[in-house]
A and B are shown apart, each in its own frame.
Chain A
Amino acid sequence: MTITFQQIVFIAISAFTIISAWIVVTNRNLFHAAIALMASFAGVAGLYILLEAGFLAASQLLVYIGAISILIMFAIMMTRRLMQTAESPYNLQWKWGIVAAFLIFILLAVLIFQTWPADTYAAPPVQSPAALRGSVTDLGIALVSVDQYVLPFEVASVLLLAALVGAIVIAWPEDDR
């Protein structure tokens, strides 16, 4: 089996994503972990581009790197005294965490390679560039058409509004509420 250029790109992006994610869960310094989290999000956006979902990649960059990471950095800076502590970043049950994560990983890996064998699902169905561009148009129409996703779409907007109001109310100082 020869390795194609696309596979090399995939392996490189995946390795970058996973190493960044590893830094996120292990680094003692929370600020460095947040930077690594941004790198991991960027790697996931690269995977979306490999999957020819350009719109999702752009949303990933905007929402995750542009908004969520910055929000997390604000929170880290506001709780700054605890950013870098001499004590361990892990609690007492971290060994059980390793066991649980490892067992679930084994389970998932077995399931994945048995249910979707690499030779049956070797490549995505060929789509013309026009059809892939059309998928974004279809998504836009599906999100607002009555027989598809208009109700989840409206519920999502109500959820975002509730989160907006709720975040302000929760973070407001107790004494002048």
Chain B
Amino acid sequence: MIPLSWYLFVAAILFCLGLYGVISRRNAVAILMSVELMLNAVNINLIAFWRYLAPEESTGLAWAIFVLAVAAAEAAIGLALIISIYRQRDSVIAEELDTLKY
């Protein structure tokens, strides 16, 4: 059988890969993709804890569904922002979008 810690370990690797992508990628779409990876890692944790610690309650499943809904909303808004910025600035490189700094 598969120990609980294996699932948590895989989720931790996925989360850290996503974190690395968020910190170091230049393209805003790539940053958004890395955020989706991190949300997936969180969902693996929720489902693993649900199955191993409280399978008779629906808390873990319900939370995972809410994370899914928030991820969908986040992707829609994020991509709309990126397309709007691209139309105005002709660029989706995150470090060139620094108007708020000055």
* Complex: A98 Cα to B19 Cα, angstroms: 9
CB distance from A10 to the nearest CB of B (A): 5
| Minimum CB–CB distance for B4 against chain A, Å | 4
Residues 6-33 of B, flagged 1 when their CB comes within 8 A of A and 0 if not, give: 1111101111111111011111011011
B94→A105 contact, CB < 8 A: no
Q: A78 contacts B83, CB within 8 Å?
A: yes
How far, in whole Å, are A174 and B45 apart by their CA atoms in the complex? 42
Q: A158 CB to closest chain B CB, in angstroms?
A: 10
- A22 near B17 (CB under 8 angstroms)? yes
B24 and A91 form a contact (CB under 8 A): yes
**Interface residue range, chain B:** 35 or more
A117 at the interface (CB under 8 A from B): yes
Point out the residues of chain B lying under 8 angstroms from A142, CB to CB: 58, 62
Query: Is B56's CB under 8 angstroms from A91's CB?
Result: no
Q: Is the CB of A75 within 8 A of B79?
A: yes
Of chain B, the residue at the smallest CB distance from A159 is B73
What is the interface of chain B, defined by CB distance below 8 A to chain A?
1-10, 12-21, 23-27, 29-30, 32-34, 36-37, 40, 43-44, 47-48, 50-52, 55-58, 61-62, 64-66, 68-77, 79-84, 86-88, 91-95
A29 vs chain B, min Cβ distance (A)? 11
Expressed in whole angstroms, the minimum distance between the Cβ of B26 and any Cβ of chain A is: 5
Residue from A17, A97, A159, A164 within 8 A of B69 (CB atoms): A159
Task: Report Cα–Cα, A64/B44, bound state, in Å.
Answer: 14
Q: Is the CB of B61 within 8 A of A139?
A: yes
